[in-house]
Structure 1
């Protein structure tokens, strides 16, 4: 099976360095690169799983719970796509429901492992992890502040510049 490199990298970060922010960035870029009318909704579901775990790790349980429920709604409607991505659909849904309940009960974050059932995907992920110098299938480092609070520590210069550009464009188009 041939998997998109963005998806493989998502899995590497998801199961390796646990950089859920990077998981989000990788798949969002991939999703946005697809033609608008053929975008796969499963990418949004996978993004939301990573974002949910990011929130749980930061103890934002309400945000984590809402995001996980949204991910569950998407994943539950995408059985064929989940299976094409080398994941065990039933095990994944069970895992996500269990985690959502833990979030609702405000249980502390623990690393989550997606149920990959394609051995060739696991092999590709291990190889890619080695290329990136990331240890595959490892626990989250909860003491790594730059990982846990990545969105608050990142350089937002380009984001702010893009927003200002769009604002100027809107203001100019109204005149």
Structure 2
């Protein structure tokens, strides 16, 4: 049995359960910054990009959705063995991502997809996380839930803005 990091389990629970792609991004970005900071080629970044792409697709930002899904797919293709170690069915994953990118390119309506979990222990862990938190499992997004759909515009961004200002100051000093 492979032990998977809790933030990854939470990411999968939000992706396949609550459909809160914004939270997927938040959870995994924090983990990535703690474990592999600055590595933009990390497989964690690829998974984050897929979640961001799905967030944009659901909000009908097709240009942003296509760009993020494409970048995330390219990243994850460089990490095929890692996808298997992470308990995903990599061939199904890339098939789902290709179909999603095609739907976006053809300007078809958003449709929820689920990341294909192959590892039965991981699947059980993610489903238990969903159950404990009151999430369904692989149920389509509720497109009437404006809190879910427009999550980025409903959060406190003061910390993000402060971090960006500090990064800009450091860059100017160097």
TM-score w.r.t. structure 1 length?
A: 0.90
Number of aligned positions between the proteins: 173
| 1:51–1:67 CA contact under 8 A, matched in 2 | yes
Asked if 1:126 corresponds to 2:127, the answer is yes
| 2:9–2:125 CA contact under 8 A, matched in 1 | yes
The DSSP-based 3-state class of the residue aligned with 1:74 is helix
The CA distance in 2 between the partners of 1:128 and 1:118, in whole Å, is 15
| 2:88–2:119 CA contact under 8 A, matched in 1 | yes
Partner of 2:111: 110
| Shift of residue 37, structure 1, vs aligned partner | 8.2
Question: Taking structure 1 as reference, are residues 170 and 117 closer, same or farther at Cα in structure 2, changes over 3 Å only?
Answer: closer
The CA distance in 2 between the partners of 1:69 and 1:39, in whole Å, is 15
CA shift digits 1:121-155 (9 cap, x unpaired): 11101111122222222221111111111111211
Partner of 2:156: 155
After TM superposition, the runs of 4+ consecutive aligned structure 1 residues lying more than 3 A away are: 35-40, 161-171
Question: Structure 1 stretch 154-163 or stretch 51-60: which is displaced more?
Answer: 154-163
The DSSP-based 3-state class of the residue aligned with 1:29 is helix
Partner of 1:41: 42
Q: Which runs of 5+ in 2 are unaligned?
A: none
Query: Which structure has the greater CA radius of gyration?
Result: 1
| 1:11–1:125 CA contact under 8 A, matched in 2 | yes
The CA distance in 2 between the partners of 1:152 and 1:113, in whole Å, is 25
Asked if 1:21 corresponds to 2:22, the answer is yes
Q: Which runs of 5+ in 1 are unaligned?
A: none
The CA distance in 2 between the partners of 1:105 and 1:24, in whole Å, is 25
| Shift of residue 163, structure 1, vs aligned partner | 3.6
Partner of 1:88: 89
The CA distance in 2 between the partners of 1:36 and 1:8, in whole Å, is 20
The CA distance in 1 between the partners of 2:158 and 2:5, in whole Å, is 29
| 2:36–2:42 CA contact under 8 A, matched in 1 | no
